């Protein structure tokens, strides 16, 4: 999943990526966050927006505030509410007066067993953006692109003036996204990938983790193919007698960092639920079987 080259880790430092986009990397590296969460600052004029403020760590908050300088923060936007993305929204809003505008809060009683980041239950947006709605400031317009799947509330943000898409955890270059039921949904995830594939206006993706994606359509097509091949692999596993997720993961993810196996198991479950909806498999307890009609 991860490349051998040691990636750069410029923590607590605002880097200019394009004239309208700066990035501040949070010091929360992990097998799920790569080198950490990348907070993006949008705008090179008097008004700036922040995308994915990240974890509420003082060093990271101070770096964001420092990067703002004299500019006014007019919006704090979150792609989704995993704990590596949204907790800094509240303290940043308190210190700057900027509104939190973006993804919906989640009101889950139980988000299920997770292997990746848990949800930020304290997230309180002042405005939720529906698909296609925009926020704007001097020289920039960010439009929400609803992309449920990794989480049910996931949004990408398109920077209309440049063709850049902030892809959050929906599409990342260094790793596939974790899709963990019940909030994570593979049917939605695949539909959201197909949706991005149709958006020809996006020429570069800036994900929340890992390097920018300069050939986004090629990558998305590859990801759709990868998910279809995982599906076929799961059906073959069942036919070979590995009918439980516990039996499938060590075979399917051989060679992958074992710390990621629990998350891989959640993604296999997400695929199985999608296959079940399509009536290709049936569940009996912990075991899965290929449907009679196609067996
Ligand atoms: Zn996430």
CB 180 within 8 A of CB 270: yes
* Distance in angstroms (rounded) separating the CA atoms of residues 173 and 216: 9
pLDDT tens readout for residues 43-63? 999 999 999 999 999 999 999
Q: Which helix (H) or strand (E) covers residue 166, if one does?
A: strand 164-168
| pLDDT surpasses 60 at 295 | no
Please tell me whether residue 36 adopts helix, strand or coil conformation: coil
| pLDDT surpasses 50 at 215 | yes
d(CA 103, ligand 1 centre) in Å: 12
Q: Are strands 164-168 and 204-207 parallel, antiparallel or unpaired?
A: parallel
d(CA 294, ligand 1 centre) in Å: 35
Please tell me whether residue 207 adopts helix, strand or coil conformation: strand
pLDDT of 1 reads: 44
d(CA 80, ligand 1 centre) in Å: 7
* Distance in angstroms (rounded) separating the CA atoms of residues 12 and 275: 43
Bridge partners of residue 22, in order along the sequence:
16, 41
**Residue predicted with more confidence, 108 or 151:** 151
Averaged pLDDT score across all residues of the chain: 93
d(CA 286, ligand 1 centre) in Å: 26
d(CA 82, ligand 1 centre) in Å: 5
Instruction: Look up the pTM and report it.
Output: 0.92
| pLDDT surpasses 60 at 35 | yes
């Amino acid at each position: 999943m991860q490349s051998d080259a040691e990636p750069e880790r410029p923590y607590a430092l605002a880097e200019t990526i394009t004239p309208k986009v700066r990035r501040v990397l949070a010091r929360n590296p992990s097998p799920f966050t790569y080198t950490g969460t990348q907070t993006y600052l949008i705008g090179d004029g008097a008004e700036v927006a922040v995308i994915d403020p990240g974890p509420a760590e003082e060093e990271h908050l101070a770096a964001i505030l420092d990067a703002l300088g004299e500019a006014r923060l007019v919006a704090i936007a979150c792609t989704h509410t995993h704990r590596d993305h949204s907790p800094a929204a509240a303290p940043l809003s308190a210190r700057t007066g900027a509104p939190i505008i973006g993804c919906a809060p989640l009101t889950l009683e139980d988000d299920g067993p997770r292997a990746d980041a848990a949800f930020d239950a304290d997230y309180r947006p002042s405005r939720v953006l529906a698909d296609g709605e925009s926020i704007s400031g001097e020289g920039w317009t960010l439009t929400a692109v609803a992309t449920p799947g990794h989480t049910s509330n996931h949004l990408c943000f398109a920077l209309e003036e440049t063709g850049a898409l902030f892809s959050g955890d929906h599409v990342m270059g260094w790793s596939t996204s974790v899709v963990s039921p019940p909030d994570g949904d593979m049917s939605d995830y695949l539909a959201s990938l197909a949706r991005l594939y149709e958006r020809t206006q996006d020429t570069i993706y800036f994900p929340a983790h890992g390097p920018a994606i300069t050939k986004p359509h090629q990558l998305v097509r590859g990801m759709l193919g990868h998910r279809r091949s995982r599906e076929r692999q799961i059906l073959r596993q069942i036919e070979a007698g590995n009918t439980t997720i516990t039996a499938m993961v060590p075979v399917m993810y051989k060679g992958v960092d074992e710390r990621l196996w629990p998350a891989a198991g959640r993604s296999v479950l997400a695929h199985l639920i999608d296959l079940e909806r399509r009536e290709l498999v049936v569940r009996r307890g912990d075991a899965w079987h290929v449907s009679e009609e196609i067996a």
